[in-house]
A = this chain, B = another copy of it.
Amino acid sequence: MNHNTGQATTVCDIELSEFLIMAEEFHGHISPGVVTGGFLVDAAQRELGHSLYLNAVTETVVCLPDAVQLLTPCTMGNGFLQVLDWGKFAVTLYDRESLRGARAWVDLEAVAANPVVSSWFIRKPGDQKVDKDPVVQELLTYGPRLVKCRAVDMKESLKSQGKVLTAACPSCGESYPLRFGDQCLACQGRAYYL
């Protein structure tokens, strides 16, 4: 289950110090979420072992997708990373051929026993804004002990393989998938812009 009992020096065979630099450059800052994400991805990768056809699913849009994009070949745009907006800080790495995978998540009981990390992770009504730097420091020491991981099997590969038939939207003239109906979603009233 939890492979990490001591203080980590690497995530996915990358020196932790190097990962923090990569995170700052890509993510914009070293957040508790991207650090926790690094340990989650590391745990899932160790459990799964080598995979030629690696895919990833994150169960939150926050921070964790960037840890996956930094530490694996799976990105949002190449389709090997799927992002679910479930608000759960958990990630699954899986092989899309064998459908064998490993899911890593935050151990809420372990977090609850750590006042510094729980001040960030467990949000209650009326909580004040948390200073992130001490949380990051605490995570760098104790993060791997706050992670659980286990092998899972996928019901199916989440990367869509089918061809998408497109046409010009009769209203705006832009290309859109015909499965959405007679017009593109923007022309159906969902445009976010004026």
The 0/1 profile, CB within 8 Å of B marked 1, for residues 88-123 of chain A is 111010000000010101101100000000000111
Contact A78 B66 (CB under 8 A): yes
Which one, B86, B158, B179, contacts A185 given CB within 8 A? B86
Query: Which listed residue, B86, B92, B186, touches A193 by the CB 8 Å rule?
Result: B92
Residues of A23-48 whose CB lies within 8 A of B: 26-29, 31, 33-34, 37
Contacts of A155 in B (CB 8 A): 192-194
Copies of this chain present: 2
Tell me the bound Cα distance from A67 to B109 in angstroms.
39
Partner of A66, one of B75, B92, B158, B163: B75
Q: Find out whether the CB atom of B175 lies under 8 angstroms from the CB atom of A86.
A: no
Given known pairs A63-B77, A77-B27, A77-B67, the reply for A87 and B193 (CB within 8 Å) is no
**A52 interfacial contact with B, CB 8 Å:** no
Contact B27 A175 (CB under 8 A): no
Least CB distance, A140 to chain B, in whole angstroms: 18
Check A180 against B86 for contact (C-beta < 8 Å): yes
- Measured CB to CB, the closest approach of chain B to A125, in angstroms, equals 6
In contact, B78 and A108 (Cβ under 8 angstroms): no
Q: A66-B77, A87-B180 are in contact. List 16 more A-B contacts (CB 8 A).
A: A27-B78, A33-B77, A57-B192, A61-B79, A65-B75, A67-B77, A87-B176, A88-B176, A105-B174, A122-B175, A123-B163, A123-B166, A124-B165, A154-B193, A154-B194, A155-B194
Interface residues of A (CB under 8 A from B): 26-29, 31, 33-34, 37, 57, 59, 61-67, 69, 73, 75-80, 83-84, 86-90, 92, 101, 103, 105-106, 108-109, 121-125, 127, 152-156, 158, 163-166, 168, 173-177, 179-180, 184-186, 190, 192-194
